[in-house]
Structure 1
Amino acid sequence: MSTAGRQASATGDEPVGILVSRASQQISELVREEMRLARAEMTQKGKRFGRGGGLFGAAGLVGVLAAQALVATCIAALALALTWWAASLIVTAVLAAVAGVTALAGKKQIARAGTPVPEQTIDSVKADLAEVKEKAHR
């Protein structure tokens, strides 16, 4: 060990090289620990999102069944005043009209959305490329 190294140890100060080495190791350990923590946290959140998605799916299925029960109830209520086939026909016509109006509204929204291409991003990239080319020619 050099004289400077012995003097540093005797006074409690350590050479810069050793300090940098320790700092590098500690930073590396810290990053690994943070990555483990992030992985554990994301795993836990992923499980919760999965459970939540499954519960939303189940709620959707039960909602569809409830809507079917409501339709049957409407038919039964109308059947008190009309024959069952007329009540069924009226409810079917109303549901078909709602489906048609909803489909037209959806088609209109899709037409307004335009093409599924990120046009603004493409324009921005083209402008960036043009600027880079212009600066390269200067």
Structure 2
Amino acid sequence: MAAPTEDERSLFTLIGELPDRVSTLVRAEIDQIKAELSYKAKHFGIGAGLMAAAAFVGLFLLGTLIATGILALALVMPAWAAALTVSGILLLIIAVLVWIGIVSFKRGAEPLESIESLKRDVDMVKGAGEYDHR
């Protein structure tokens, strides 16, 4: 009888090779995930750097637009009044943004409904209050 061919290997031989094959497959998958994450991190970093550079240049744009507004108003009023008017408008914008930010902070500082519900449940269990089915 001839020696078994590669196709005729025993079940025990195949089972014995299974951990090595699984280990190799898992290592290959991990390497692929590492490569994909590295690729994504590289491009995310480049994108974030470009966005930061755009924001930096945007600050200069904002300055030139403010200067343009002052110069345009200086055509119809004295330059000092134009600068004061633009400054007043900017102050108004800042005040509105700060007010909106404060309102947002206050909303974020409100106690969570789930905590209040838990307190009501504890009070109910203790018999200290009436149960509210909210």
Task: Give the alignment's TM-score, normalised by structure 1.
Answer: 0.73
Q: Quick one: which amino acid aligns to residue 30 of structure 1? A: L
Aligned equivalent of 1:60: 55
State the alpha-carbon separation in 2 of the partners of residues 112 and 59 from structure 1.
32
Structure with more of its chain in helix, by fraction? 1
Shift in alpha-carbon separation, 1:70–1:10, aligned structure 2, 3 A: closer
For structure 2, the 5+ residue unaligned runs are 119-134
RMSD: 3.0
State the alpha-carbon separation in 2 of the partners of residues 75 and 10 from structure 1.
90
Shift in alpha-carbon separation, 1:118–1:52, aligned structure 2, 3 A: farther
1:77 paired with 2:72, answer: yes
1:86 paired with 2:81, answer: yes
Aligned equivalent of 1:39: 34
Identical-residue share of aligned pairs (%) = 32
For structure 1, the 5+ residue unaligned runs are 1-5, 125-138
State the alpha-carbon separation in 1 of the partners of residues 99 and 7 from structure 2.
80
Q: Quick one: which amino acid aligns to residue 63 of structure 2? A: Q
How many residues are aligned here? 117
Shift in alpha-carbon separation, 1:64–1:10, aligned structure 2, 3 A: closer
Task: Give the alignment's TM-score, normalised by structure 2.
Answer: 0.75
The DSSP-based 3-state class of the residue aligned with 2:9 is: coil
CA contact (8 A) 1:76 1:84 kept: yes
